[in-house]
Structure 1
C-alpha cells in the first residue's frame, strides 16, 4: 500500500481558467519591465524554466535573482487577486473528496509542482484543498528545474521509498518524472493531455477525472 501521494496541482486538482496566465504576465512585466507578449510552454514545466524561456522569447537573459524577483511578484499578484481566482477558477470534480478519502485511509499527501511554494499554497487554500497537504514533504518550482528531481526531493523529505509512493498528475512530464525515480503513476486526463497520450507516456493507470473516489483509493492502495 502507498504511504505517500504526490499530487500535481494545475489541471489535476484545480483549474484557474486563465487567471494564472494573467497573473504570470503581470509578474513578468513587473520583473522585466516588458509586457509578456507570449509565454513558453507550461505543461509539466517548472516555474523557473517557464520564466527563463519566456524571457528568452523576449530577447532577455535572466539570472536566479531575476527569477526570485519574479517569484515574489507572482506571489503578490496571486494574493492581490484571490477573489479573481475564486470566482473564475475552481477545484476539479472529485478533488476534495479524493484528498479527504486518502487522508482517512492513512495516506500522507503532499504536492510535487512546478509552482513556487507560496503560490501553490495560495491556490489550494483558495479552493479549500490545502488542509490535507503536508507542505514540508513537497517539492516546488523554486527547488529545481527538472520534475524528476522534484520527485526525488519529495521522497527524500518524506523519508519513503519509491515503492511506497504514488504520483497523481495530468501530463507526460509528471509520468516521466515519477518513473525516473521508480514511482508509480495514476494519470488524470483532466488537463491538455488526453488518455491516449498519458498511456503512451507510460502511465500505469489513466483516469478521465477524480470523481470515482472509491476507485482512486483502491488504485493508490494498488488493490484495484
Structure 2
C-alpha cells in the first residue's frame, strides 16, 4: 500500500531564525524599489498572498508578473546567503531522524506542501540536509495556488493518491484546516507559534509537541 507524507517546511522541519524575513525584505525591495517596512501575516499563508498583502501595506498594487519577479529574486537571495541561513537557522529537533525513518517504511513517499515557492523550498531543505528523501515533483508550492487547501489537493493529484492514503504534518491552524478540507489525516506539530491546544482546536487528528519521538511519529503516519 502506497502512502504519501506531506511535510510543511517552516517551523515544522526548519527554523530560519529571522533570515527568511530578511531575505523577503531584500527581494521585496529589489522588485518594488521600496524598503519593506512591514510584512503581512505569514503563518500558514502562501508566498504570493504574503507578497500581495505586504505590497498593499506599502500602498502598492501588484500583479502576477510582480510576484514572479519577487519569487525569482527571493530564490536568488537564498542562494547568495545560504551560508548565513545555515549558520543562523537550524533543522528542528527530530526532523532528520523522522525523514530517515519514514524513508525506510515500505510504500511511503515523502514530499512538501509549502507556501514557499519550490526553489526556496528546495534551498531550505538542502541547506539543512533534509532534502534527500523528498519527492519534489509530487509536492505543491506557493507558485501553484494562493490557498493552502488547493495546494494539498494539487499534491494528492500529483502523487496519484487518495486522501485516505495521505498524512499531512504542519505547525499552523491554517495548515491543519487545509488538510482537513481535503479529508487528509493531519498531525499538528507544535514547534511554531501555535500551541498544542490551538492545533487541536483547529481539528488536527493528533498533535505532537515536536518531532523527537521518531517511533511514535512513524506509527502515527501509518494511522496507528
1:160 is aligned to: 161
Give the 3-state SS of the residue equivalent to 1:187 in structure 2: strand
Query: CA offsets per residue over residues 51-101 of structure 1, 9 Å max, x none?
Result: 000000000000000000000000000000001100000000000000000
- Whether the 8 Å contact between 1:79 and 1:122 is mirrored in structure 2 is yes
2:71 is aligned to: 71
Task: Report the TM-score, using the length of structure 2 for normalisation.
Answer: 0.99
> Superposed, which structure 2 residues align to 1:1-224 within 5 Å?
3-106=3-106, 107-223=108-224
Offset of 1:2 from its aligned partner? 6.7
Give the 3-state SS of the residue equivalent to 2:114 in structure 1: coil
Give the 3-state SS of the residue equivalent to 2:52 in structure 1: helix
Give the 3-state SS of the residue equivalent to 1:5 in structure 2: strand
Task: Report the TM-score, using the length of structure 1 for normalisation.
Answer: 0.99
RMSD over aligned CA atoms reads 0.7
Aligned counterparts of 1:164 and 1:136: Cα–Cα separation in 2: 17
- Whether the 8 Å contact between 1:5 and 1:165 is mirrored in structure 2 is yes
Offset of 1:222 from its aligned partner? 1.1
- Whether the 8 Å contact between 1:184 and 1:204 is mirrored in structure 2 is yes
Deviating beyond 6 angstroms after TM superposition, the runs of 4 or more aligned structure 1 residues are none
Any gaps of 5 or more consecutive residues in structure 2? Answer: none
Aligned counterparts of 1:16 and 1:86: Cα–Cα separation in 2: 8
Offset of 1:16 from its aligned partner? 0.2
Aligned counterparts of 1:49 and 1:2: Cα–Cα separation in 2: 33
Aligned counterparts of 1:167 and 1:204: Cα–Cα separation in 2: 10
- Whether the 8 Å contact between 1:2 and 1:222 is mirrored in structure 2 is no
Matched positions, count: 223
